[in-house]
Structure 1
Amino acid sequence: MNKSELAKAVSDKAGITRAQAGDAVDAIIEAIIASAKADDTVQLAGFGTFHAKHREAREVRNPRTGEKMMSAAKTALAFRPASALKDLASL
């Protein structure tokens, strides 16, 4: 499912136009990104938690040449699913 298909599903479920649903999906995504940038978490009960995860710089190896180099430190968005979602995945 891509973003437009998600917006269509929201539109059908909530009884709103696709444009309104698209705006709602965009707003949710922007709120999650802003929260991660502020080093905060977004917890959605029964779904999971989005959080910023910091990774330190480390030494890596180029598999093609074998050359060692340093990867930059970075912060990435991570997702930890709720237990209800984990149980669904085992079906």
Structure 2
Amino acid sequence: MNRALGALDDLVTKPKRELDTAAVCRRYRISDTTLDRRLDDRSSRFPQPHWRGRRRFWLESELDAYDAARRLVLEAPMKLELFS
């Protein structure tokens, strides 16, 4: 089975887990400033945070879905080259 589709199946069964800004930066190995740039760039389709007071949180399931969608997009050109 395709890994990206398997990740989408996991979204149904995973409990909701929230990641704060520092955890999201560690997950993607980016700085806080780069995270802000991704949020400002609508073409990146990076998940928007949920706010609690002045703190930002992301649902892990939304980040997993974003990662799975990116993998599908990145793998698509490689698959097309195989059939050429």
Greater strand share, structure number? 1
Greater helix share, structure number? 2
- TM superposition score normalised by structure 1: 0.29
Q: Which structure has more RCO (C-alpha within 8 Å, separation ≥ 6)?
A: 2
Task: From the CA coordinates, give the structure whose radius of gyration is larger.
Answer: 1
- TM superposition score normalised by structure 2: 0.31
